[in-house]
């Protein structure tokens, strides 16, 4: 199973949503998990994980992961060639490196990262940025290219983003 997570921040709480789907080319979700949590940290430039990681870990407590499952986060797993982690890297460590973590980011990050891959989908000239730990990023790049939907953002990830913004 593939589990994709996203969090949206309101004034005094965060809403985290996870959609699960069976395959990279799936056009529908199997299950939706959602949770509202108090915001435990202010936004800190360069330390986004401090705010979002607790939300993801809390929602993960509702999910029975299996050894072959994959987790997708909205963001980066790695940030540069010096080994700096993004949210996904911290999640990978928090889960004792047991599950592959894939980061799919919509916005570019300026520092060079040899583990980052640009993925162009549909007619878009703007890439998605893919990073990963626990799996081969080049294989994941191909899978993200093949995700269901004709546009830059795969259909299920677009739905995930919309679900986080619904009160």
Write the CATH number for 60: 3.30.2170.10
Q: Give the pLDDT confidence score for residue 46 in this predicted structure.
A: 64
Predicted confidence at residue 45, as pLDDT, reads 65
Q: Which of 119, 118, 122, 117 lies closest to 149, judged by CA?
A: 122
pLDDT truncated to tens, each residue of the chain (167 aa)? 999 999 999 988 999 999 999 999 999 999 999 999 998 777 776 677 888 999 999 999 999 999 999 999 999 999 999 999 999 999 999 999 999 999 999 999 889 999 999 999 999 999 999 999 999 999 999 999 999 999 999 999 999 999 999 98
CB-CB neighbours of 160 under 10 Å: 21
Rg (CA), the chain: 15
Domain that holds residue 40: 2-165
Nearest to 130 by CA among 107, 111, 164: 107
Rounded (5°) CA angle 113-45-108: 35
Q: How many domains does the chain have?
A: 1
pLDDT of residue 58: 97
Integer Cα distance of 147 and 158 in angstroms = 12
Q: How far apart are CA 8 and CA 1, in angstroms?
A: 23
């Amino acid at each position: 199973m593939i589990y994709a997570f996203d969090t949206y921040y309101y004034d005094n709480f965060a809403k985290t949503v996870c959609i699960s789907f069976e395959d990279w080319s799936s056009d529908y979700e199997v299950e939706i998990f959602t949770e509202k949590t108090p915001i435990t940290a202010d936004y800190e430039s360069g330390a986004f994980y401090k705010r979002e990681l607790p939300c993801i870990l809390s929602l993960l407590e509702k999910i029975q992961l299996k050894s072959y499952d994959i987790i997708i986060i909205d963001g980066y797993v790695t940030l540069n060639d010096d080994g700096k982690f993004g949210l996904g890297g911290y999640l990978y460590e928090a889960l004792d490196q047991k599950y592959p973590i894939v980061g799919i980011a919509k916005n570019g990050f300026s520092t060079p990262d040899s583990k980052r891959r640009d993925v162009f989908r549909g007619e878009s000239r703007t890439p998605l940025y893919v990073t990963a730990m626990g799996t081969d990023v080049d294989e994941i790049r191909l899978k993200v290219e093949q995700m269901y939907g004709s546009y830059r953002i795969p259909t299920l990830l677009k739905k995930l983003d919309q679900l986080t913004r619904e009160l």
